[in-house]
Amino acid sequence: MTTPRKIGIVGGGTMGSGIAQKVAQSGLKVVLMDVSDAQVQAGLSRIRSMLEEGVKRKVFAEGEPDRVLARITGTTKAEDLKDCDLVLEAVFEDLGVKRKLFAEVEKHVRPDAVLATNTSSFKVAAVAEGARHPQRFVGLHYFYHPAKNRLLEVIPGKGTAPAPLASAWAFAEATGKTPIHSADAPGFVVNRFFVPWLNESVRLLEEGVADLPTIEKTCKDLFGIGMGPFELMNVTGVPIAQHAAAGLASELGAFYAPCELLKKQVASKKNWDLAGEAGTRGAADVERRLLGVVLLVAAQLVDEGVASAEDTDIGAKVGLRWPIGPFALANQRGIAGAVAAAARVADTYGLPLPRSLAERKEKPVPFALKAVNLAVEDGIARITMNRPDVLNALDPDTVAALETAFNAAVADGKVKAIVIEGRGKAFVAGADIKFFVRAIDEKDIPRIVSFTRKGQELLLAIDRCDKPVVARVNGMALGGGAELALSCDAIVADESAVLGFPETGIGIYPGLGGTQRLVHRCGIGAARYLVMSGDILPAAKAAAIGLVDVVAPAGTSMSVVKQLLAEKRVKAGPGPSGLAKPTADKARYEKIFTDAGTAALMDGSFAPADKEGEKLKKKIAGKAPIALRMANELMQKALSLPVEKGVEEELASLPRIFSTEDARAGLGSVGKGRPEFKGR
């Protein structure tokens, strides 16, 4: 598998320019092609405007627009795509135009270049028909706005070879997307259930089941969303809903066809009138119908092999920003009632009930949705954290799922090595903060201790495993995520990854072995720096202090992991493999964070020698004082205790730290602003 490093994008419109922006932001080179220089310049102008708006909103640093645009070359000539590793078309939805475009592109690109289509209307196989090398065609279906929306559907066409598909997946990861698998089927994954959801909402209005405001509010309440179907159509364009429904109907039948009221609304060239107050008449019927439609179609997807239940839910949560996916919603609302609602819709429209629903009609068992995936290939077990919508946060269920997957990998005689990785933009972004807050508010600190003990037992098992275990940090590894990585024999990080221990900034300390393994791996000075400053380090800086073993170019970390394992450079058993090569950065923190220097930083008497020292003093002054003190005491103990004893010390102190006012204030502040610590 080769990770594409130079990307050709054909089409400088809203989608094409947005994709080009995201790819260039990720550090890859881009060739942006369109039919005229005016259109190329318009695309580049869109990108600059988006980036400059981001600078104003402090999303990007000053100078970022110039840095990103420096990676993009505009052209009107297909021959300028000759050195591209992957070429993606994002032109308008005309099958003839797309085929003609690729016929021209194939004359100029390398034989091993991947060719990708962003189509939402046609099958990938249809776009590739007549191509010289259809085996290298894939679908990469982006969602609006492609520079912001993290979802990317990855679709093999008929006959797509494994290598181009793997390269496309690596490209998705390298550009910070959350990829999901889809078969080459109408609507792929998300549009297959989203479009009927829109259409059925209009049918409900057409049939007089409820008025528009009631349908809007019922949808918002049921699916937990900010905009109902009618407002969404107004924002994205009412004709798009009709076009998408007609496209699905042409392939899948009358159930998907746009209803008459939707066609009339498009003909009027007006948006939906959202005025009026929601009532209760028909609300229960609206809820049942829309839950039934979404679950029915989602189950069709799974039964047909288009997508897994997990990927379907991820598509809803990441692509549509629904807080809950169709299958999890069915579990939440009650399987018996949800299946009955889907069965009623199926009967109404003369559709067969998918097997997965028919089984649950007889025996209402909730859908089992995997929080952690396990796959074994060529002797390597890949354990993938599978909650990208919540950045793979650790909660009791996720820890239990990780334990199950890890134990299965250990017990499998075919497995020679284990890799732990995250899906989406995070490896693991830490523990589930809501879990901690609920436990504190319910005065159930023992629940936190029990959860942490389970986590520590698992991390000790990973630490002691007699098979090499590698953390492939392909995104954020914060708090508990960084502690999970520390329990592995080696840490390989993508260059775009970040690692850190922000706990003292939210009133607690690292409790999954972070105060212990950090000292053993990086030394007391660097450990104190990481825990007390809360700095989030890019992979290269983390490597400079010994936290990361190897930094891989974006999208290549799995290849690097395989190479290390093949060369048997990862040592199994307690402690790291010794691959890290810290630089002078580590020595600097050893000088600053002596016992005396640490005490001075905590009591405010530290005298900075330079601007960096001043920043460090200010950062530590903003942390929770009790958490700082307890973390330092625990790190000091790590100097004389083995990890097994040190984590017991962490556990013993948990009731005290989670009982402080600072812990509640800090944990409750996440996502809301900087907390004010009182030291009590």
Rounded to whole angstroms, the Cα distance separating 5 from 325 reads 33
Sign of the alpha-carbon dihedral angle for 115, 121, 124, 127:
negative
Kindly give the pairing relationship between strand 426-428 and strand 380-385: unpaired
- What is the C-alpha to C-alpha distance for residues 657 and 535, in angstroms, rounded to an integer? 21
Three-class HEC string of 533-588: HCCEEEHHHHHHCCCCCEEECCCCHHHHHHHHHHCCCCCCCCCCCCCCCCCHHHHH
Contact 125, 99 (CB under 8 A): no
pLDDT value at residue 451: 95
Beta bridge mates, 32: 9, 74
pTM for the complete prediction?
0.89
Average confidence (pLDDT) over 644-658: 95
**Digit-coded pLDDT (tens) for 386-398:** 999 999 999 999 9
Interacting residues of 180 by C-beta distance below 8 A, sequence separation 6+: 151, 152, 153, 154, 189, 307, 311, 314, 315
Q: Is 421 an annotated catalytic residue?
A: no
pLDDT exceeds 80 at position 1: no
Query: pLDDT tens digits for 440-454?
Result: 999 999 999 999 999
Which is catalytic among the residues 503, 590, 614, 649? Answer: 503
Of the candidates 492, 372, 373, 472, the residue with the CA atom closest to the CA atom of residue 427: 472
Contacts with 62 (C-beta within 8 Å, 6 or more apart), sequence order: 55
What Å distances lie between residue 14 and 39, 240, 424, CA to CA?
11, 15, 24
What average pLDDT does this structure show over 57-63? 89
Number of H helices, E strands in the chain: 30, 18
**Residue with more model confidence, 139 or 158:** 139
207 is a catalytic site residue: no
What are the DSSP calls for 77-98, one per residue? -GGGGTT-SEEEE---S-HHHH
- Who contacts 284 (Cβ-Cβ below 8 Å, separation ≥6)? none
- pLDDT for 382 equals 97
Do the strands 29-33 and 6-10 form a parallel or antiparallel pair, or are they unpaired?
parallel
Contacts of 364 (CB under 8 A, 6+ apart): 334, 335, 336, 339
Which band of pLDDT confidence, cut at 50, 70 and 90, is reported for residue 610?
confident
Cα–Cα distance measured from residue 393 to residue 255, given in angstroms and rounded to the nearest whole number: 38
Would the CA dihedral through 108, 110, 111, 117 be positive or negative?
Answer: negative
**Res 672: pLDDT:** 82
What structural domains does the chain harbor? 6-181 (3.40.50.720), 190-362 (1.10.1040.50), 372-668 (3.90.226.10)
- Segment (H or E) for 603: helix 595-603
Residues 444-503: tens digit of each pLDDT: 999 999 999 999 999 999 999 999 999 999 999 999 999 999 999 999 999 999 999 999
Distance in angstroms (rounded) separating the CA atoms of residues 131 and 124: 12
> What mean pLDDT is predicted for residues 133-150?
94
Indicate the range of 145-149, 504-508, 614-618, 645-649 predicted with least confidence.
614-618
> What's the chain's Rg over C-alpha atoms?
27
Respond yes or no on whether the N-terminal peptide bond of residue 141 is cis (omega within 30° of 0): no
pLDDT at 614: 86
Alpha-carbon distance 34 to 77, whole Å? 8
Strand partners for 422: 385
With pLDDT > 90 as the criterion, what percentage of the chain qualifies? 86
**CA dihedral for 163, 166, 170, 176, sign (positive or negative):** positive
Q: How far apart are CA 138 and CA 148, in angstroms?
A: 22
Instruction: Compute the mean pLDDT over every residue in the chain, rounded to the nearest whole number.
Output: 94
Average pLDDT over residues 190-198: 97
For residue 339, what pLDDT is reported? 97
**Which of these is catalytic: 153, 483, 590, 650?**
483
- Residue 591 in this model has a pLDDT that exceeds 70: yes
List the structure tokens of 326.
């169709």
pLDDT for the residue 587: 86
Beta-bridge partners for 368: none
| pLDDT surpassing 90 at residue 583 | no
Q: For 520-551, write each residue's pLDDT tens digit.
A: 999 999 999 999 999 999 999 999 999 999 99
